[in-house]
A and B are shown apart, each in its own frame.
Chain A
């Protein structure tokens, strides 16, 4: 078992896609040679957001919708850390949707993992932003009216640094995506198709399995326009893999360059020079 798995009792329904995701993420972390002490997982709230608690690393229990700004804050102070924000589609795309947009714009070196089950699991089955139109639930008895949200298309339209789609039924593919996303220098978004066996009877394991396919070798993830087109593919066929990536300068590098220092934690000689003229009495 991966050293990143702990013994905390898991509170997910039997058969939930989250189990595979948890295993694949823990294995990806250990295969990358990371130590638990170097990793911070920031949770939102939801079934998905329980995952960080089951992983043996530093955990910051965020709140519903806000895991991205919390992760941003942690990483801004200590850019050496591997910071991962992890939550569900409701949390990341609904309650916290605005934060996602602005994180893409700033490009902090964090990874955002979204367990996308196209439903609100923890609160017992209401439609989420990624639920299909006409999805029937306890609070949408006539079916949802809104069209569903397309996170990957949104991210590419904003020239995100890295975005991929995985599926909890594709172990090797998902692990490889996790590894690439975590190693990526810059903002990386991973949308994971994660069947909720209890509240989503439409987008089941079989529904996904019949539609997903890996992006072919010759696919070029560096062309924004063709990647955008690819990101619109949803329905009969759903592509898996790294859909778009673009090497860009990251937030912490840009800000420290402006300040002339390496981090916020250790006062450097540069820090002294900023105040040199004023000779402040730090003693």
Chain B
């Protein structure tokens, strides 16, 4: 397969088409409008649906409808627009409907700005909308991984009948890198026999997102949490990079992980042994491996483009066994290799 140079936003869009996305509903917002632009051209070519709604709220409920009809469907936005979609995401989770939602995050809170940020981590992994539910969250760190995780997102959404968020950021969306489109061979999926298709000769379909009887709702919540348990057992993905027997374990995802790889390399030249644990799935979170590597390294340094969000999950994983340090830049600022390395050297006294 040929490598082509592509912008992150275009790459996600093309991967969605190749993953069999039947419908896409969008609304413009920087820095991800290119996803809409790309799909507005390519979806009709493929005989598929592209539509720009009157708001993000309308677009997430168009997704809700198309998902209930059994189709592969995607929407995308950034920060403020993703906030507006949260109600719909809770309903998708409650109705157990598969859908893919891309967030090319920008600086927040509020309107914030259009610079890259990781400040939507909590919103993505802790629910975001109301009620007891979880969304699978994937954290790509290169344009190639944006492509690969888009295939995976559609597969996992169907496999678990659950919304999946691809949590990128403005930098990944805007950067150009060479990519190959290699559609993976996923195991076969069960038929969508729950979908509202208008077929004759069977019981009516009945997709619900409520149960007024508290016993019934608790039972339902237990059922979906069993599903989440299975996701936590089977779907954790991460990358370990750097030295064995490190003096410190670095943790970072997405764009930050790219910076941390340079930090690991530069530290090596200075005789400092570092390793990086990069979560690829942000939910389910790779807690067990973090705990293991943290204990081997003796200390952890978590770096994020926010005021400190994933570090809470890292601390839960480490559970007080070793010290966890944090360095974050927010508001669209990006931590530099030099600053990060300086902080590491200060902590290690080297």
Q: Are A126 and B52 closer than 8 Å at their CB atoms?
A: yes
A175 CB, nearest partner CB in chain B, Å: 31
Whether A139 sits at the interface, judged by CB under 8 Å, is yes
- 19 A-B residue contacts at CB 8 Å? A63-B110, A63-B111, A64-B80, A94-B54, A95-B27, A95-B56, A97-B54, A123-B28, A123-B29, A123-B33, A126-B33, A126-B36, A138-B40, A139-B26, A139-B37, A139-B50, A141-B40, A141-B44, A142-B44
Interface residues on A, range: 10 to 19
Q: Are B33 and A139 closer than 8 Å at their CB atoms?
A: yes
B49 CB, nearest partner CB in chain A, Å: 11
CA gap between A61 and B113 in the complex, in Å: 14
Residues of A within 8 A of B80 (CB): 63-64
Whether B30 sits at the interface, judged by CB under 8 Å, is yes
Whether B41 sits at the interface, judged by CB under 8 Å, is yes
Considering only residues 123-152 of chain A, those with a C-beta below 8 Å from chain B are 123-124, 126-127, 129, 138-142
Residues of B within 8 A of A120 (CB): 28
Whether B55 sits at the interface, judged by CB under 8 Å, is yes
Name the CB-closest residue of B to A62.
B111
A98 CB, nearest partner CB in chain B, Å: 9
B38 CB, nearest partner CB in chain A, Å: 9
Q: Are A95 and B44 closer than 8 Å at their CB atoms?
A: no
Residues of A within 8 A of B111 (CB): 45, 61, 63-64
CA gap between A236 and B50 in the complex, in Å: 32
Name the CB-closest residue of A to B81.
A64
CA gap between A64 and B28 in the complex, in Å: 11
Question: Once A and B bind, how many residue pairs between them come within 8 Å at the CB atom?
Answer: 45
Residues of B within 8 A of A141 (CB): 40-41, 44
Whether A65 sits at the interface, judged by CB under 8 Å, is yes
CA gap between A120 and B27 in the complex, in Å: 11
Q: Are A94 and B55 closer than 8 Å at their CB atoms?
A: yes
Residues of B within 8 A of A138 (CB): 37, 40
Q: A64-B80, A141-B44 are in contact. List 11 more A-B contacts (CB 8 A).
A: A61-B111, A95-B55, A123-B29, A126-B36, A127-B52, A139-B26, A139-B37, A139-B40, A139-B52, A140-B40, A142-B44
Q: Are A129 and B37 closer than 8 Å at their CB atoms?
A: no
B169 CB, nearest partner CB in chain A, Å: 18
A209 CB, nearest partner CB in chain B, Å: 29
Name the CB-closest residue of A to B52.
A139
Given contacts A64-B80, A138-B37, A129 and B29 within 8 Å (CB-CB): no
Residues of B within 8 A of A45 (CB): 111
Considering only residues 9-31 of chain B, those with a C-beta below 8 Å from chain A are 26-30
Considering only residues 51-76 of chain B, those with a C-beta below 8 Å from chain A are 52, 54-56
Q: Which of A64, A127, A140 has the most CB of B within 10 A?
A: A64
Q: Are B30 and A123 closer than 8 Å at their CB atoms?
A: yes
Q: Which of B27, B29, B80 has the most CB of A within 10 A?
A: B27
Given contacts A63-B80, A138-B40, A142-B44, A126 and B28 within 8 Å (CB-CB): yes
CA gap between A129 and B157 in the complex, in Å: 32
CA gap between A65 and B80 in the complex, in Å: 11
Nearest 5 CB-CB pairs, A to B? A123-B28, A94-B54, A139-B40, A95-B55, A138-B37
B108 CB, nearest partner CB in chain A, Å: 12
Residues of A within 8 A of B37 (CB): 138-139
Residues of A within 8 A of B40 (CB): 138-141
A9 CB, nearest partner CB in chain B, Å: 18
Residues of B within 8 A of A127 (CB): 52
Q: Which of A95, A123, A127, A129 has the most CB of B within 10 A?
A: A95
Residues of A within 8 A of B54 (CB): 94-95, 97, 129
CA gap between A45 and B106 in the complex, in Å: 16
Residues of B within 8 A of A64 (CB): 80, 111
Considering only residues 98-153 of chain B, those with a C-beta below 8 Å from chain A are 110-111
Residues of A within 8 A of B110 (CB): 63
Q: 1/0 per residue A77-103: CB within 8 Å of B?
A: 000000000000000001101000000
A106 CB, nearest partner CB in chain B, Å: 21
Q: Which of A138, A139, A142 has the most CB of B within 10 A?
A: A139
Residues of B within 8 A of A63 (CB): 80, 110-111
Within 8 Å by CB of A124, from B26, B33, B52, lies B33
CA gap between A197 and B30 in the complex, in Å: 21
Name the CB-closest residue of A to B30.
A123
Name the CB-closest residue of A to B54.
A94
Residues of B within 8 A of A142 (CB): 44
Residues of A within 8 A of B27 (CB): 95
CA gap between A45 and B30 in the complex, in Å: 12
Given contacts A63-B80, A63-B111, A139 and B55 within 8 Å (CB-CB): no
CA gap between A120 and B36 in the complex, in Å: 14
Residues of A within 8 A of B41 (CB): 141
Q: 1/0 per residue B171-198: CB within 8 Å of A?
A: 0000000000000000000000000000
Q: Are B55 and A65 closer than 8 Å at their CB atoms?
A: yes
Residues of A within 8 A of B56 (CB): 95
CA gap between A169 and B329 in the complex, in Å: 47
B240 CB, nearest partner CB in chain A, Å: 40
Given contacts A63-B110, A64-B80, A140 and B52 within 8 Å (CB-CB): yes
Q: Are B36 and A139 closer than 8 Å at their CB atoms?
A: yes
CA gap between A120 and B41 in the complex, in Å: 18
CA gap between A91 and B83 in the complex, in Å: 17
Name the CB-closest residue of B to A95.
B55
